[in-house]
Protein backbone atom coordinates (compact mmCIF):
# COMPACT_ATOMS: atom_id res chain seq x y z
CA UNK A 1 0.00 0.00 0.00
CA UNK A 2 1.52 3.30 -1.18
CA UNK A 3 5.01 1.76 -1.00
CA UNK A 4 4.99 2.08 2.80
CA UNK A 5 5.85 -1.12 4.62
CA UNK A 6 5.47 -0.12 8.26
CA UNK A 7 2.20 1.51 9.26
CA UNK A 8 2.66 1.28 13.02
CA UNK A 9 3.03 4.59 14.88
CA UNK A 10 1.90 6.49 11.84
CA UNK A 11 -1.13 8.71 11.53
CA UNK A 12 -3.19 8.18 8.40
CA UNK A 13 -5.63 10.85 7.28
CA UNK A 14 -8.38 9.53 5.02
CA UNK A 15 -10.74 12.04 3.45
CA UNK A 16 -14.33 11.18 2.59
CA UNK A 17 -14.03 8.07 4.77
CA UNK A 18 -17.60 7.97 6.04
CA UNK A 19 -18.46 5.32 3.45
CA UNK A 20 -17.28 3.54 0.36
CA UNK A 21 -13.66 3.43 -0.70
CA UNK A 22 -12.52 5.88 1.98
CA UNK A 23 -14.08 3.84 4.79
CA UNK A 24 -12.49 0.65 3.48
CA UNK A 25 -9.09 2.33 3.20
CA UNK A 26 -9.39 3.62 6.77
CA UNK A 27 -10.21 0.12 8.05
CA UNK A 28 -7.30 -1.41 6.16
CA UNK A 29 -4.86 1.20 7.45
CA UNK A 30 -6.10 0.51 10.97
CA UNK A 31 -5.62 -3.22 10.45
CA UNK A 32 -2.01 -2.49 9.53
CA UNK A 33 -1.48 -0.53 12.73
CA UNK A 34 -1.98 3.13 11.83
CA UNK A 35 -3.84 5.60 13.95
CA UNK A 36 -6.52 7.00 11.68
CA UNK A 37 -8.04 10.43 11.24
CA UNK A 38 -11.06 10.52 8.98
CA UNK A 39 -13.09 13.31 7.45
CA UNK A 40 -16.49 13.44 5.87
CA UNK A 41 -19.41 15.81 5.38
CA UNK A 42 -21.90 13.60 7.22
CA UNK A 43 -21.51 13.49 11.01
CA UNK A 44 -23.37 10.19 11.44
CA UNK A 45 -21.04 8.48 8.99
CA UNK A 46 -18.00 9.86 10.77
CA UNK A 47 -19.23 8.64 14.15
CA UNK A 48 -20.02 5.19 12.76
CA UNK A 49 -16.61 4.69 11.14
CA UNK A 50 -14.71 6.11 14.13
CA UNK A 51 -16.55 3.58 16.32
CA UNK A 52 -15.61 0.79 13.94
CA UNK A 53 -11.97 1.88 14.03
CA UNK A 54 -11.87 2.17 17.81
CA UNK A 55 -13.33 -1.31 18.16
CA UNK A 56 -10.23 -2.49 16.31
CA UNK A 57 -8.11 -0.98 19.06
CA UNK A 58 -6.59 1.92 17.15
CA UNK A 59 -6.78 5.58 17.99
CA UNK A 60 -9.22 7.26 15.67
CA UNK A 61 -10.81 10.66 15.35
CA UNK A 62 -13.23 12.11 12.87
CA UNK A 63 -13.76 15.63 11.62
CA UNK A 64 -16.45 17.33 9.61
CA UNK A 65 -14.61 18.78 6.63
CA UNK A 66 -16.05 19.60 3.23
CA UNK A 67 -13.12 19.11 0.88
CA UNK A 68 -14.86 21.11 -1.83
CA UNK A 69 -14.46 24.23 0.34
CA UNK A 70 -10.96 25.68 0.33
CA UNK A 71 -11.29 27.42 3.70
CA UNK A 72 -12.30 24.20 5.44
CA UNK A 73 -9.48 22.20 3.87
CA UNK A 74 -6.95 24.91 4.69
CA UNK A 75 -8.05 25.09 8.32
CA UNK A 76 -8.02 21.32 8.70
CA UNK A 77 -4.67 20.79 6.99
CA UNK A 78 -2.94 23.61 8.83
CA UNK A 79 -3.83 21.92 12.11
CA UNK A 80 -2.23 18.66 11.09
CA UNK A 81 0.62 19.57 8.80
CA UNK A 82 2.05 22.75 10.25
CA UNK A 83 1.56 22.25 13.96
CA UNK A 84 3.99 19.69 15.29
CA UNK A 85 2.78 20.39 18.82
CA UNK A 86 -0.61 18.94 17.92
CA UNK A 87 1.05 15.88 16.44
CA UNK A 88 3.15 15.37 19.57
CA UNK A 89 0.07 15.72 21.74
CA UNK A 90 -1.69 13.12 19.64
CA UNK A 91 1.22 10.76 20.07
CA UNK A 92 0.82 11.11 23.82
CA UNK A 93 -2.81 10.08 23.51
CA UNK A 94 -4.36 13.48 24.00
CA UNK A 95 -7.15 14.89 21.89
CA UNK A 96 -6.45 17.25 19.04
CA UNK A 97 -7.69 20.74 19.50
CA UNK A 98 -8.58 22.58 16.33
CA UNK A 99 -10.72 21.84 13.34
CA UNK A 100 -13.58 19.78 14.60
CA UNK A 101 -17.30 19.57 14.55
N1 LIG B 1 -17.44 2.81 -5.53
C2 LIG B 1 -16.89 2.41 -6.70
O3 LIG B 1 -17.01 1.26 -7.11
C4 LIG B 1 -16.05 3.37 -7.52
C5 LIG B 1 -15.43 2.91 -8.67
C6 LIG B 1 -14.63 3.79 -9.39
C7 LIG B 1 -14.50 5.12 -8.98
N8 LIG B 1 -15.14 5.55 -7.87
C9 LIG B 1 -14.96 6.93 -7.48
O10 LIG B 1 -14.23 6.94 -6.25
C11 LIG B 1 -14.72 8.01 -5.43
C12 LIG B 1 -15.21 7.47 -4.11
O13 LIG B 1 -16.21 6.47 -4.33
P14 LIG B 1 -17.12 5.94 -3.16
O15 LIG B 1 -18.01 4.89 -3.70
O16 LIG B 1 -16.24 5.61 -2.00
O17 LIG B 1 -17.94 7.27 -2.88
P18 LIG B 1 -19.11 7.57 -1.81
O19 LIG B 1 -20.21 8.17 -2.59
O20 LIG B 1 -19.39 6.39 -0.94
O21 LIG B 1 -18.45 8.74 -0.98
C22 LIG B 1 -17.51 8.46 0.05
C23 LIG B 1 -17.71 9.45 1.18
O24 LIG B 1 -17.25 10.74 0.77
C25 LIG B 1 -18.04 11.71 1.43
N26 LIG B 1 -17.93 12.99 0.74
C27 LIG B 1 -18.57 13.37 -0.39
N28 LIG B 1 -18.24 14.63 -0.70
C29 LIG B 1 -17.36 15.04 0.23
C30 LIG B 1 -16.67 16.28 0.45
N31 LIG B 1 -16.82 17.34 -0.35
N32 LIG B 1 -15.83 16.37 1.52
C33 LIG B 1 -15.68 15.32 2.35
N34 LIG B 1 -16.31 14.14 2.21
C35 LIG B 1 -17.16 14.00 1.15
C36 LIG B 1 -19.43 11.13 1.42
O37 LIG B 1 -20.24 11.70 2.45
C38 LIG B 1 -19.17 9.64 1.64
O39 LIG B 1 -19.29 9.26 2.99
C40 LIG B 1 -15.85 8.70 -6.23
O41 LIG B 1 -15.29 9.83 -6.90
C42 LIG B 1 -16.28 7.64 -7.21
O43 LIG B 1 -16.84 8.21 -8.38
C44 LIG B 1 -15.90 4.70 -7.12
Question: What's the mean pLDDT in 11-29?
Answer: 96
Q: State the pLDDT confidence band at 98, using cuts at 50, 70 and 90.
A: very low
Q: What is the pLDDT of residue 84?
A: 52
Residue 62: DSSP 8-state: E
User: What contacts 23, CB < 8 A, 6 or more positions away?
Assistant: 17, 38, 45, 49, 52
Note whether 38 and 49 are within 8 A (CB).
yes
Global pTM reads 0.81
Note whether 41 and 66 are within 8 A (CB).
yes
Look up the CATH architecture of domain 12-91: 3-Layer(aba) Sandwich (3.40)
Indicate the top mutation candidate among 21, 39, 41, 43 to test ligand 1's pocket, ranked by most ligand atoms within 8 A of CB: 21
Residue among 73, 77, 21 at smallest CA distance from 49? 21
Ligand 1 atom at minimal distance to the Cα of residue 67: 32
User: What contacts 91, CB < 8 A, 6 or more positions away?
Assistant: 9
Indicate the top mutation candidate among 13, 14, 22 to test ligand 1's pocket, ranked by most ligand atoms within 8 A of CB: 22
Q: How far is the CA of 61 from the centre of ligand 1 (A)?
A: 19
| Closest C-alpha residue for ligand 1 atom 40 | 21
Q: How far is the CA of 22 from the centre of ligand 1 (A)?
A: 7
Given phi > 0 = left and psi -120 to 50 = alpha, else beta, which region is 4?
beta
Amino acid sequence: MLGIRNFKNRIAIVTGAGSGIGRELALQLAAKGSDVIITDIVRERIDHVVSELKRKGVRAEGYLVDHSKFEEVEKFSSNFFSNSVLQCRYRRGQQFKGTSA
